[in-house]
Amino acid sequence: MKFSQWLKNLEYELLQGNLDVEVEDVVYDSRKARSGTVFVCTVGTRVDSHDFIPEVVEKGVTVLVLERRVSLPEGVTAIFVHNAREALAVLSAARFDYPAKRMVTIGVTGTKGKTTTTHMIKAILEACGKKVGMIGTTGIVIGEKVTPTANTTPESYQLHEAFYQMAEEGCEYMVMEVSSQAFKMHRVEGLVFDYGLFTNISPDHIGPDEHENFEEYLFYKSKIFQCCEVGIMNGDDEHYDEVVKDAACRLYSFSLDKAGTSFKAENIRYVAQSDFVGLEFDVKGAYELAVRVNIPGRFNVANALAAVSVLSFLNLPKEKICHGLEHLSVNGRMEIVYSSERCTVIVDYAHNAVSMESLLKTLRDYKPRRLVCVFGCGGNRSKDRRYSMGDSAGRLADFTILTADNSRFEKTEDIIADIRSSISKTEGTFIEIPDRREAIRYSILHAQPGDMIAVIGKGHEDYQEVNGERHHFSDREEILNVVESSEFINR
């Protein structure tokens, strides 16, 4: 294509050259530069890629996008833009011929619940026979293929490349987690979601290389309602008014507690049966439905209600929506791996005290005979996390097994010793089994009828990181190995 055809949605100044030059691709990594590519020069905290102009021109690049005015070699076309990352997003969309427009697009943002809610939406759509692409914490998902990504929301080029692949493979819907960094770094610039969903907001991601303060964090999160056609906001969030004040979309709300919202959850019931542990509730308001959700916890009522609120606009069969929620599984997020009269075993990603407290308090609502917690803490991370998680386990679990969790360059025994120093100050009962496989095995083989076992910290991760190396390890796989073993069956 001609470069000029990629520029219709971009404000720029032509510095030199011919805009009708033929181009094939756009890159921002000098190592990928070659003839036929447009090289976008970005200014980062550590690297200014304007410095690589001589190198990429030598490789055959004849089109440059600059956000800093620099001396230019002869024979190249160069344009100046005020923000190169914004330009990269616009050019990437054009390079793949705006593939997001070929699907119904759903963007989900919020501090908590993004991953679970996107999985819920995907599961429901698939229960309705739809083909769905998904982007988020677990990577880029197209059918059975999962491609890991470095960020929850990938760079704009990778995003549009994924949209193109999804559309080419017949996806009718695309659902993705949209991080605050995605807005700040212009990764979703130019995208207009058909539906934008905001789960909640609380202080997070504040610090070096993230956000300066909560106000900045909220500002970027709230941009979801400036780039969607229909917006749906958590009406129970204390920052509701501030989040929606600049909304440029048709706005709806959902709630567990407030009257007058578009969608309301009523008659919430906690269910713990040998073959089902989860929730039941009624959706009221603009859409009415009685649902069962096979993931525990009041916060998952909010997640499920958010998912149903979005999907209510899509004219889907209600019985299919119900089936999708009742049989969904979110890898590593309050995932019930095994349940019987003997015990229930849950895997969750909780890896700090706030998440751990929420998880254990939620499981208490199901009144287990004993609440057993299996966890460790990551090495080369703040020791405060170890002390606070030890305290939470000691107060909220009936029995705790301390074990390994990505010890990295520390000794597992030293990490456990730090946790021990806080849990021993509580009245909680605990033992130490450094080998995580053995810890999981012990918790299940020694379960008492009615026990609920929470194996936490790793969630969807399928590795253990030790001394700089990652070894395959999945909590889910280890649990299934135990419950399918003759030792457990014949016990």
For residue 234, say whether it is annotated as part of any ligand binding site: no
For residue 152, say whether it is annotated as part of any ligand binding site: yes
Q: In angstroms, how far is the first alpha carbon of the chain from the final one?
A: 68
Angle at 157 between CA 11 and CA 192, to 5 degrees: 60
CB proximity list for 462: less than 8 A, separation 6 or greater: 472, 473, 474, 477
DSSP-derived secondary structure letter, 126: H
For residue 32, say whether it is annotated as part of any ligand binding site: no
CB proximity list for 168: less than 8 A, separation 6 or greater: none
For residue 122, say whether it is annotated as part of any ligand binding site: no
Each as own residue / partner, the long-range contacts of residues 154-158 (CB below 8 Å, 24 or more positions apart, any chain) are 154/187, 155/28, 155/88, 155/187, 156/85, 156/88, 156/89, 156/92, 156/93, 156/186, 156/187, 156/188, 156/189, 157/26, 157/27, 157/28, 157/88, 157/92, 157/95
Can you spell out the DSSP letters for 393-430? HHHH-SEEEE--S--BTS-HHHHHHHHHHHHTTSS-EE
For residue 143, say whether it is annotated as part of any ligand binding site: no
CA distance 161 to 147: 12
Find out whether 197 and 310 touch, Cβ atoms under 8 Å: yes
For residue 112, say whether it is annotated as part of any ligand binding site: yes
Element (H, E) at 470: strand 469-472
For residue 17, say whether it is annotated as part of any ligand binding site: no
For residue 115, say whether it is annotated as part of any ligand binding site: yes
Find out whether 64 and 41 touch, Cβ atoms under 8 Å: yes
The alpha carbon torsion through 173, 177, 181, 182 (nearest 10 deg) reads 0
**CA distances (Å), 246 to each of 152, 233, 253, in order?**
25, 13, 15
Find out whether 376 and 457 touch, Cβ atoms under 8 Å: yes
For residue 116, say whether it is annotated as part of any ligand binding site: yes
For residue 138, say whether it is annotated as part of any ligand binding site: no
For residue 30, say whether it is annotated as part of any ligand binding site: yes
Numbered residues of the known binding site? 30, 110-116, 151-153, 179, 187
Report the binding-site residues for ATP.
110-116
